[in-house]
């Protein structure tokens, strides 16, 4: 079920045209997540905010195409590129 959902989202994301300034929007989203969760009393919320912010920064830096040298570190991308 999860694999099908991720595949569906990825297919939609790959098929859609790029949005001008998409990298800047992802970076702004990362900063917003970091700033909104950094002083939360729950360590779980701060941790999830850090992870989500880092993922958005990676998206901003690489766009929709993940460089091959990073693929080996991402378990959900292994075996999808040949």
Is 68 in contact with 81 (CB distance < 8 Å)? Answer: yes
Calculate mean pLDDT across residues 15-30: 84
Q: Is residue 62 part of a domain?
A: yes
Q: Is residue 11 part of a domain?
A: no
Please give the pLDDT value at position 82: 46
Q: Is residue 63 part of a domain?
A: yes
Q: Is residue 12 part of a domain?
A: no
Asked whether residue 33 carries a pLDDT value surpassing 60, the answer given is: yes
Record the pTM.
0.62
Please give the pLDDT value at position 64: 64
Taking CA atoms, 18 is separated from 21, 23, 63, 80, 81, in Å, by 9, 10, 9, 22, 21
Both tokens of 53, joined, read 């912010």
Q: Is residue 70 part of a domain?
A: yes
Q: Is residue 39 part of a domain?
A: yes
Q: Is residue 2 part of a domain?
A: no
Q: Which domain holds residue 72?
A: 22-82
Please give the pLDDT value at position 20: 77
Asked whether residue 35 carries a pLDDT value surpassing 60, the answer given is: yes
How high does pLDDT run on average in the chain? 79
Our count of domains for the chain comes to: 1
Both tokens of 43, joined, read 């360590």
């Amino acid at each position: 079920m999860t694999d099908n959902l991720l595949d569906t989202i990825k297919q939609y994301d790959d098929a859609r045209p790029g949005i001008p300034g998409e990298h800047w929007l992802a970076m702004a989203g990362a900063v917003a997540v970091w700033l909104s969760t950094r002083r939360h009393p729950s360590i779980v919320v701060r941790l999830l905010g850090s992870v989500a912010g880092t993922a958005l920064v990676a998206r901003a830096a690489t766009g929709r195409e993940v460089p091959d040298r990073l693929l080996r570190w991402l378990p959900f991308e292994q075996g999808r590129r040949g």
